[in-house]
Amino acid sequence: MFEALELGRRVKHKKFESAETELRHRLLQAQFELAERPYPAIVIISGVEGAGKGTVVHRFNKWMDARLIDTHAFWDSSDEENNRPFYWRFWRAMPAKGRIGVFFGSWYTKPIVDAALGEIDDQRLDQELQRITQMERLLTDDGTLIVKLWLHISKRAQQKQLAHDIKTKRQNLRIPDAQAAFARLYDSFAGVSERAILKTDTRHAPWHLIEAEDPNYRDLAAGEVLLRALHEHLRRVPANEPAKQPMSFIEAEQPTILDNVPTNAKLSSDRYKRALRKYQERLQDLAWKARKQKVSCVAVFEGWDAAGKGSAIRRITEAIDPRLYRLVQFAAPTDEERAQHYLWRFWRQLAPAGRATLFDRSWYGRVLVERVEGFARHDEWHRAYAEINHFESQLAAHGLVVMKFWIHISKDEQLARFKLRQQTPHKQHKITEEDWRNREKWGDYELAVHDMVTHTSTSQAPWTLVAGNDKHYARVQILKTYCKRLEEVLDRPSNQDGEVNPNKATDA
Amino acid sequence: MFEALELGRRVKHKKFESAETELRHRLLQAQFELAERPYPAIVIISGVEGAGKGTVVHRFNKWMDARLIDTHAFWDSSDEENNRPFYWRFWRAMPAKGRIGVFFGSWYTKPIVDAALGEIDDQRLDQELQRITQMERLLTDDGTLIVKLWLHISKRAQQKQLAHDIKTKRQNLRIPDAQAAFARLYDSFAGVSERAILKTDTRHAPWHLIEAEDPNYRDLAAGEVLLRALHEHLRRVPANEPAKQPMSFIEAEQPTILDNVPTNAKLSSDRYKRALRKYQERLQDLAWKARKQKVSCVAVFEGWDAAGKGSAIRRITEAIDPRLYRLVQFAAPTDEERAQHYLWRFWRQLAPAGRATLFDRSWYGRVLVERVEGFARHDEWHRAYAEINHFESQLAAHGLVVMKFWIHISKDEQLARFKLRQQTPHKQHKITEEDWRNREKWGDYELAVHDMVTHTSTSQAPWTLVAGNDKHYARVQILKTYCKRLEEVLDRPSNQDGEVNPNKATDA
C-alpha cells in the first residue's frame, strides 16, 4: 500500500506559487459556502511521524479564513480527559455547523500507537477501529463532512527529517534516542497503519493517502483533496425521505411494555418513611464508596408530565454529598447546542470519575418529544436508537454505571394531578397549555416509550419502569434500584483496590 | 431489550383472516414491482429456537409468488462449504436481481451459536459482527434491500413449544435431553443475541424485533415489516452522483508506481532455461505439499494487452498437476452474472482447500476497464477498493495465499508486439480494433493501475509488478514469486500436521 507513496512526486516552486494562489481562492470560496450550511467539516491529519502534519495544518489556516477554523492538537490527554470516556475529548472539540475542525492527531492516534507498541492486540485494535467507524458514521449521518488525510514518507526520509529536527530543536522530542527508536518502530507502525486504514476506509469517510516527501507536492495535494471533498459535499443532494406508509394489518390496541407496569402499587406512609431512611442512608455510603473506587454514575429520569420526576430526584440528591453529584436539567437546546450533533450537549455534561450525573430529561428527548412532535425526521429519530446505544456502550465501557428510569402513571392519575395543580396556587405555574396538548398525544407517546424501551433497554444500560401512581412507592423503587445497581459494581473484587474502573474489562 | 417482546400481543382469528387477504394482495403487488428492479431483496429470519421461524418462511412462500423467491436454510455446513471461506455459502445462495431470497438462518447463526456455547469470546464475536456489517453494507451499497426479522418468545414459551415438538416429533432434535439443554442455554443465547442485534442494527440494514408467541400476531407483523420495507425501498430515489470537478493544481506528469518497474530487465536464453526448470520443479513439489497441507492459492493475473499474461500463466500450469489447479478466464459477464453483485462471479469460482485457482483477469476489472470505459459509476468503482480488500481479507483469513501480478510493458514494447501480431498470420486473431482503442487510453489505464495498487496492495494480498518487456524475465519473476509466497506459508511449523489452515490464526 505505502510503496505507491514513495515515488518522488514533486512540484516545482514556480508551479507551486501559481497553483497556490488559485487554490487559496477556491478554498476560501468553498469555506464561505460551507459557513452557510447546517453542518460542519472535520479534517483529520494523520500519518507518519515527520511527514509534516504540522505544516499542512499551518497551510490550511493560512489558506483559509482562520476565524472559521477550529484547530485541535490531540497530544497527551489531560486528567480531565482521562477521567471520562475516550471520545469525550473529541466531542469537546467538535466544530459547530458551518465551521471546519482541523484535527491534528485524532481518534486514530491512540489505537495506532498502542497497537504499534504492542500494548493491544489485533482483535482489540479492530474493536477500536469499529468504534471509530461508528463514530464517523454518526457524524456523517448528521451531515458532517469528514476528510481524512494520511501523509506518508519513507523510513529513510523520516530518519533525515528527525536528524534535522533534533539539530534545529524544532520538535518536542521527549525520547532520548529518538532517531533510533523511530527507526525500530517504523515497520511496526506501517503494519498497524495499513490495517487501520483498510478497516476504516469507508464510503462515508474515505482515506486520502498523500506522498509527503516534497512539501510542495504534499501541501498542494492536501489542499486539492480538501477542496474536492468540500465541493462534492456542498453539491450533494440528500436522498429523499420516503413517504411513510401508514397502514397496519394488526389491531391498533396491542399491549405495550407500559401495560406491564403495576401502576397502582402502593406503600403506606409508615413503610415509606422506614424504607426512605434505609435507602437514603445506604446511598450516602455508596456514593462515598463510589468516589473512592472512582466509579461514576449516569442516571436518566424520564416520565410523563406530572409523574413526579422532580420529587423523586430530590430524594436521591438529599442523600448524596453535593460534591459527589451534578443535576442537569434539559429544556430546549441553546443556540450553541443547536449548532452541533444532538448528542453533543449530553457529552459535555459528563461528570469526571467518582461522581454521579443525574439527568432530568436527557438524550431520549430525541425519540420521545422530538419524534412525537415531528421536530426530528423519521430517519433522524430512528437512527438515534443505534446512536444512543453506541453512546451508552461507551459510557459502560469506561466503567460508568448507567441507569434509566421511566416514571409511569396512568392517564387518569395524570388528569387528577393536573387538576390539583390548577387548584393549588403555588403549583399553578407547573401546569401549562403545553401539558394539556401533550396529554392529547398520550397514545403517540405510549408508542414512543414502548419503542424506546424495546430498542435501548440493554443489559449494560437497562430501563427501569417505575410504578408512579403512588409517589411513595415510586421514590423507594428508584432509590432501591439506584443502590442495587451501584452495589453490584462496587462489590466486584477487581474494584477493591480503589483504582480500577470496574467495567473496563467488559468493554462493550 | 427482549422484555418488550413478552407482552402477550395477539391477533384474533377473524381479524387475521381479513388482514391476511389484504396483506397478501399488497405483498404480491410489491413483489411484482421488485421483479422489474435492478436489485434483489434478502429477508433474514432469525430468532429464538422454537419461535416459529419455519412457519414464517412458509407463510412468505404462500403469500407471495414462490417462483420469485429463493428459500435457503443454512443448516450444518457441507464439506464443500467448510473447504471455502465462510461467506462462500451465502454468495452461492444470493438472489439475482428482482428476486427475494429468504434466508432461514444466515451469517448470524454461527457467530451467535459459537458465542453462546462459549466457543468464541466477546472480542472474536465483535469481529464476526463487524464482518457481517461490512457484508451487509456491500450488498446494500449495490442496491440490495435487506430485511432482518428477529422472532422472540419467552423461556417459558420455548419450553412449552419444545415439549410439543418432541411429542409430535415435528423437529429434528438431535440432542438427547433437548428441553433441558435449551433451558440451560436460553439466557446465554439471550445475552449474545442482544449484543449481536445492537452491533448490527445499522441504518442500511436495521433489525425488526417481533413478539412471536401468538402465531397470528407474529405472521402478520412479519408480513407487515416486509411490506413496509419493500414499499420504502421501491420508492427510494438514490442520492445523485455529484458532478465531478476536473481540476488539479499539480503538474499532470507525476510519477506513478509503474515508473518503478525495471521494464527492461532481461534474462539471457541460457539463464532463462535453467531458471525455468529450477522453479517449475520446485513449484511441482510445492503444489503437492500444499495439497497435503490443505493450503489453497489464488493467483490473479492482470496486465496490458499483449503483456504476455497467457504465456506466463502457461509456465505455471505446466508445472502443476492438472488436478491441483483451475484456470479461470474472464471476459464480459454472462446474463446470470450481470444479475448479481459484481463480486459474485468470482466467489463462485473459488476452488476448495488444497488447490490453486488462477484468474486470467479478475475482480480488478471493476477498477480498471470498468473505470476507464465508464462501465461503472465513480462511486461504484471507488467503493470497490474497500470491497475487494474485504473480499481478499476473507480469503487470507481462511488460509488462502493470495497473489496478484500486474505484467507491465512499455508503450513502445506494446506497439512492437501489436505490429508483430498483425504481421504474423497465426497471431492476427489476437489483435483487434479494441486493443488499438485501449492503447489510446494508456494514460487513463496507467492512473487506474496506480490507484489500484495504492489501494489494494496489502500485506495479506500484495501486488507484484512484473517487468514484462522481456518475456523470459517476466515468466521467471512470476514463477519465483509464486514459489516464494507458497514456501513462506508451507514452512510454518503450525502447518506441518497437514490439517490446519495456516493463516487462520492471523484472521484479518
Distance from CA of A128 to the nearest CA of B (A): 11
Q: Which residues contact A440 (CB under 8 A, 6 or more apart)?
A: none
The residue among B373 and A168 whose pLDDT is bigger is B373
CA distances from B239 to A14, A141, B39, B143, B236 (A): 41, 14, 16, 12, 9
Residue of A nearest to B24 (CA): A249
Name the one residue in this structure whose C-alpha cell is 486520502: A208
Query: Domains along chain A?
Result: 2-235 (3.40.50.300), 258-506 (3.40.50.300)
Q: Do A209 and B8 touch (CB under 8 A)?
A: no
Compare CB distances from A239 to B23, B237, B260 and report the shortest one's residue.
Answer: B237
Q: How many Å lie between the alpha carbon of B241 and the closest alpha carbon of chain A? A: 8
Give the three cell numbers for residue B19.
388482514
Which amino acid appears at position A53 of this protein? K
C-alpha distances in Å from residue A502, one per residue of A273, A499, B236: 33, 9, 46
Rounded to an integer, what distance in angstroms lies between the CA atom of residue B318 and that of residue B322? 9
Q: Which of A130, A238, A455 is facing B239, going by the closest CB pair?
A: A238
Cβ atoms A468, A474 nearer than 8 A: yes
Average the pLDDT over B59-81 and give the result.
85
For residues B497 and B4, give the distance between their C-alpha atoms in angstroms, rounded to a whole number: 51
Which pLDDT belongs to residue A491? 73
Please give the pLDDT value at position B361: 92
Q: Is the ipTM of this complex over 0.95?
A: no
How far, CA to CA in Å, does B251 sit from each of A15, A16, A223, A314, B404?
A: 8, 9, 14, 69, 30
Cα pseudo-dihedral B242, B245, B246, B250, rounded to 10: -130
Specify the pLDDT at position B59: 93
Higher-scoring residue by pLDDT: A178, B199: B199
C-alpha cell recorded at residue A421: 395543580
Q: What is the pLDDT of residues A376-396, one digit of tens each?
A: 888 889 889 989 998 998 899
Which stretches within B201-318 are classed as H helix?
A: 215-235, 269-292, 309-317
Q: Nearest-5° angle of CA B116, CA B122, CA B125?
A: 75
The chain A residue lying nearest B451, using CA atoms, is: A4
C-alpha cell at A374: 415531528
Please name every residue paired with A405 in a beta bridge, in sequence order, or none if there are none: A301, A464
Q: In B, which residues are within 8 Å of A127 by CB distance?
A: 123, 126-127
Whether residue A496 has pLDDT greater than 90: no
Q: Under an 8 A CB cutoff, do A202 and B386 touch?
A: yes
* Res B247 pLDDT > 70: no
CB contact (8 A) between residue B220 and residue A123: no
> Taking the model in full, what pTM does it have?
0.80
Supply A311's cell numbers.
420529587
SS3 state of residue A24: helix
Task: Find residue A297's DSSP bridge partners.
Answer: A356, A401
- In the block, which residue shows the cell 460534591? A323
Kindly indicate the confidence band of residue B244, based on its pLDDT and cuts at 50, 70 and 90.
low
d(CA B406, CA B468): 9
* B210 three-class SS: strand
* CA-based nearest residue to B388, from B296, B453, B302: B453
Residue B178 has what pLDDT?
Answer: 63
* pLDDT over threshold 90, residue A368: yes
- Please say whether the beta carbons of A46 and A153 come within 8 A: no
* Strand partners of residue A466: A407
- CB within 8 Å of A425: residues ≥ 6 apart: none
A-B contacts (CB, under 8 Å): 175
Judged by CB atoms closer than 8 Å, whether chains meet at B7 and A239 is answered as no
Residues 6+ apart with CB under 8 A from A373: none
E strand or H helix at A298: strand A297-303
Strands (E) across B418-485 are located at 463-467
> Considering only CB atoms, which chain A residues are within 8 Å of B464?
none
The DSSP-derived string for A130-144 is: HHHHHHHHHHHHTT-
Q: Using CB atoms, pick whichever of A122, A203, A256 lies closest to residue B383.
A: A203
Percent of chain A whose pLDDT exceeds 90: 52
Contact B178, B166 (CB under 8 A): yes
Place of cell 428482482: B98
**Inter-chain touch B4–A453, beta carbons under 8 Å:** yes
CA dist list (Å): B31 to B140, B179, B205, B208, B222: 18, 39, 19, 20, 15
pLDDT in tens, B189-198: 999 999 999 8
Q: Who wins on pLDDT, B245 or B198?
A: B198
Lateral strand order in the sheet of A325-329: A325-329, A356-360, A297-303, A401-408, A463-467
Q: What is the DSSP letter of A493?
A: G
User: Is residue A272 within 8 Å of residue A472, measured between CB atoms?
Assistant: yes
d(CA A129, CA A239): 27
In the predicted model, is pLDDT for residue B475 greater than 80? yes
* Chain A residues inside the 8 Å CB shell of B127: 123, 126-127
Asked if A355 contacts A325 with a C-beta cutoff of 8 angstroms, the reply is yes
C-alpha closest to that of A368 among A262, A463, A252: A463
- Dist. CA B179–CA A16, nearest whole Å: 75
Question: Average model confidence (pLDDT) for chain A?
Answer: 87
User: B360 falls in which pLDDT band (50, 70, 90)?
Assistant: very high
Determine the residue of chain A that is closest to B462 in CA distance.
A1
pLDDT value for B312? 94
Which residue, B140, B127, B404, is CA-closest to A121?
B127
Distances (CA, A) of A306 to A252, A333, A408, A436, A477: 27, 22, 10, 11, 17
Across the interface, whether the CB atoms of B201 and A386 are under 8 A apart is answered: yes
> What does the pLDDT look like over A422-481, one tens digit per residue?
888 877 777 888 888 889 999 999 999 999 998 899 888 999 999 999 999 999 999 999
User: Sign of the C-alpha dihedral, residues A161, A164, A168, A174?
Assistant: positive
* Total residues belonging to chain B: 508
Q: Nearest-CA distance from B309 to chain A in Å?
A: 23
Average pLDDT over residues A18-33: 92
Alpha helices (H) along A208-349: 215-235, 269-292, 309-317, 335-338, 344-347
* Structural element, H or E, at residue B432: none
CA distance linking residue B220 with residue B10, whole number of Å: 10
Residues with Cβ within 8 Å of A462's Cβ and at least 6 positions away in sequence, in order, are A403, A404
The pLDDT confidence band at residue B238, using thresholds 50, 70 and 90, is low
Nearest to A30 by CA among A160, A225, A180, A163: A225
